[in-house]
Each structure stands twice: as structure tokens, then as C-alpha cells.
Amino acid sequence: MKKLIKSPNLPKREQILLVDDDKIFREEFVECFGGYGFIQAADGNEALKILNRPNEIDLVIMDVRMPGIDGLSLLDKISKIASGVGTIVITGYSSKEVVLKALRGKADDFLEKPFDIEKARAVIDKVLNAKKNGYRSDAADTAGKMEHVKRFLIRNLSRKISLKDAANVVFLSPKYLSRTFKEYVGIGFNEYKLRLKMDEAKNILKQTAYNVDQISDKLGYQNTESFIRQFKKIIGRTPAGYRKKIRGKVRS
């Protein structure tokens, strides 16, 4: 019997509290920004209840215009009860005054609707990195840089990310990153990246009705056969076989 390869220990996904009274917008936002963990709140009161409970929220993204407690008022309250949490204000009103109020209210940054997904992701990453305990994008700490590479890979599962791309993110040479990553993680960069994709494929197979072609496309594969071949190599069975096994367990 073929020995299964153990999946890597995944770094914790950053938890984002998304506060907006528009449910459709929240769902579309979550869909656009894979790689993060999301908790949703429909208004400021609900957000405060969440923040007042024990939590691991790293960032709050809030709309300015909401019923009850608006975004700017919520921002003020967050600064008092959760000062270590990053904050981003969303505004659909290109008013300089609103932006200035948000920044004076200690928001770390802002997004304007409609926003460009890649630019918005850059803003989110910047705030998360700035708030991470003792970690700066230029940190000399090797462990911090390797964890940053892990997060970078998780957030870009659907993209073709090279060793050079990852090295540029943490300001290292590809050769140095390759050697250091393997020493720190225990497996090579490409193998780790592949296992991340396969773990995500397993989650999709468990939680959705997507077919193999859809999953392959979602994970950035141009060739479904290549995806199936790699999945079988890592997991020990085909995607269809894995789904059948999981469904069999659920029924029993």
C-alpha cells in the first residue's frame, strides 16, 4: 500500500472582521479575497459584540455608512477596546472629508468603492503586516520572513507563484530563500506550495459540489490532468476517489 505523505502544518490564516450592512457585498468581498479567514457582522453593534468576546481578530474592515453605529463611531470604539487590531474604513463616497475623519480616527488605511481587488489586497496585506507582533516587512528575523512566505503562498493559491516572486516579497535572493525555507519548514518551497494546493483541493471537495475541472481552474491549473496527477501523488487517490471516500464516511 502506498504511504501517504503527511500534509504540512498550515500557518494560521489572519482573521478579518468584515462589517457592512449589505449582505451581498460582504459575500462578494469574502469570495474575492481568498486566503484570509472572515467573520461577518451586519452592523456596528454586532461587530462590538464579537470584539468584546475572546477572539483572534487581526483586522476590522468596516463601511462608513451603516445604520446605528456608523463606521467612524465604530472606529473610535475599537481604538478603546481592541487597540492592537488593524482597521480599514470602506467608503463609497469619494469625499476627502470622510477620508480625513477616518484617518484622524486612527484608521490604519481606507478603501474606496468600487475598488481594484489587487490594490485592495495590497492595502490589507500592508495593514496586517504592520500590526503583526514585532514583524515588519523589512525584518531581519528569519522565522518572521519564512512565516511571511507561507502566508504569501496561502493568499495566492490560485496564482502561479515562483520562488523568485516569494523571494522578492521578503527581500531575499531566490537561492538563499530556497535553502532557508527548507531548513525552517522541513520541505522544499515547491513541495510545500504543492501540498497547500492539495489541502485546499481537499477542502473544496469536502465542502462544495465543484467538479474536478472547476477545482483545477480555481487552483490555477491550466491542465486538469496535471491537477489529478499531482493530487493522487500527494493524497494517494484521485479527487473523485477522495470525494467518494469522504461521502461514504459521512453516510456511515
Domain limit, last residue, from 88, 108, 131: 131
Which residues span the domain enclosing 173? 142-186
Residue 125 phi, psi dihedral angles, 5° rounding: -60, -40
* Helices within the chain (DSSP H only): 23-32, 44-52, 71-81, 96-104, 117-131, 142-155, 163-169, 174-185, 189-207, 212-218, 224-235, 239-251
User: Per the omega criterion (within 30 degrees of 0), is the bond before 114 cis?
Assistant: yes
Residue 88 lies in a domain: yes
Contact 209, 215 (CB under 8 A): no
The answer for residues whose C-beta is within 8 angstroms of residue 98's C-beta and 6 or more apart is 64, 91
8 A C-beta contact, residue 76 and residue 104: no
Residues 90 and 124 in one domain: yes
CATH of residue 214: 1.10.10.60
The tens-digit pLDDT sequence of the chain (252 residues) is 333 344 445 455 788 999 999 999 999 999 988 778 899 999 999 999 998 887 778 899 998 888 888 888 888 888 888 777 889 988 775 555 666 566 665 678 888 888 888 888 888 988 888 776 444 433 346 777 888 888 888 877 877 889 988 888 777 889 999 999 999 999 999 999 999 999 999 999 998 999 999 999 989 898 999 999 999 999 999 999 999 888 776 454
DSSP string, 128-168: HHHHSTT--TT---HHHHHHHHHHHHHHTTTS---HHHHHH
Q: Are 91 and 72 in contact (CB under 8 A)?
A: no
Out of 110, 131, 152, a domain closes at: 131
Model pTM score: 0.50
